[in-house]
Structure 1
Amino acid sequence: MSDSPKSGKKKNLTAMRRSARSFALQALYSWHMAGQPLTELDAQFRVEYDMRDTDMQLFSELLHGVAARKSELDGEFSGFIDRSLDELDPIELTVLRIGTFELMQRIQVPYRVAINESVELSKKFGATDSHRYVNGVLDKVAQHVRQAEVKAKR
């Protein structure tokens, strides 16, 4: 791997986006569990956490976009899960919402990246094997919402 400035910027951007996803997961989890208003959560995270190395635009897009489209996102992946939404672990549910949002709304992100980032969130915050479940569900979502891209990669 090269140590060129361009390579460093890409690594930094990747890390900033990963941080945004991580903070968004935590904020959305709080929203889901406690029903705290999004504007309060947004402000709370900006004040209480060191977010200097975070893509704040992505954080905001995920926080507000996932919440605004919750029903649409749930409807998209609910046909690919083996239990009701209420029976999903809250972390798995939140990760599935973020991953589905990225697959549906952030088409500039390759589907494999969107899935991988969700798997990594599951590994970091979820139960022991939740990443396998998330991977399987999001793979099916990708086949549905990104048919052309998935077929081109296979």
Structure 2
Amino acid sequence: MELTRHQIREIAFQTLFALNANQQTNKEDFFEALTNGKYGDQYPKYLNELVTGVMANKEALDNLIEKYLKSGWSINRIAKTDLVILEIALYEMLHVDDLAAKISINEAIELAKKYSDDRSRKFVNGILSHALEELVK
């Protein structure tokens, strides 16, 4: 059974969150644990693309997030769960050609509902909506 993009985003979120906490481990170890070893070394291409892409573009993504924060806020003040969710969504919005930005935003809100609280969901939506306005210009 193939994973849906929604499931892949969730595994990417869990992997990136875990890598934030434990940088000594590699992403493949997390992929294997999170997919119960079901794919061997053949992880879904999109999963690898998301995790590798977010990691490679983290600084640029975080700078973009910081641009949309309210005055007095810094990137360090954002809950780690919310930060990873925002990084994934912005990476998709900027680098995945066959995906509508609104899908990335909706998926980010779904992740925030599952892994954060109601305030986080609104925060994630606000940041991504501002980013979308600018990207559409």
TM over 0.5: yes
Query: Is the contact made by 2:32 and 2:38 (CA closer than 8 Å) also made in structure 1?
Result: no
User: Given the alignment, which residue of 91, 102, 123 partners 1:101?
Assistant: 91
2:27 aligned partner, one-letter code: L
8 Å CA contact 1:27, 1:42 repeated in 2: no
Distance, in Å, in 2 between the alignment partners of 1:51 and 1:141 is: 36
Contact map agreement 1:103 1:146 (CA 8 A) in 2: no
Q: Report the AA paired with residue 128 of structure 2.
A: L
| SS across alignment from 2:97 | coil
Flag as ranges the 4+ runs of structure 1 deviating above 6 A.
none
**Cα distance change, pair 109–101 in 1 and its aligned pair in 2 (3 A):** same
Q: 1:19 to 1:60 in 2, by over 3 A?
A: same
User: Is 1:26 the counterpart of 2:24 in the alignment?
Assistant: no
Separation of aligned partners in 2, 1:145 and 1:64: 22
Corresponding residue of 1:120 = 110
Which structure 2 residue ranges, 5 or more long, are not aligned? none
What is the deviation of 1:110?
0.6
Amino acid at match of 2:35: Y
Q: Which residue of 1 aligns with 2:30?
A: 44
State whether residues 65 and 75 of structure 2, in contact with CA within 8 Å, keep that contact through their aligned partners in structure 1: no
Partner residue in 1 for 2:82? 92
Root-mean-square deviation (Å):
2.2
Contact 2:50 2:88 in 1 (8 A): yes
| Runs of at least 5 residues in structure 1 that lack an aligned partner in the other structure | 1-11, 148-154
User: What is the Cα deviation at residue 22 of structure 1?
Assistant: 0.2
Q: Looking at secondary structure, tell me which structure has more helix per residue.
A: 1
Q: Give 2:52's aligned amino acid.
A: H
Gap change, CA 1:23 and 1:81, over 3 Å in 2 = same
| Match of residue 151 from structure 1 | none
Deviation per CA, 1:97-140, whole angstroms, max 9, x where unpaired?
00110111013211110100111111111133211110110011
> Structure 2: which amino acid aligns with 1:44?
F
Partner SS state of residue 114, structure 2: helix
Q: How does 1:137-152 map to 2 (within 5 A)?
A: 137-147=127-137
Q: Give 1:53-92 correspondences, 5 Å limit.
A: 56-82=44-70, 83-92=73-82
SS in 2 for 1:129: helix
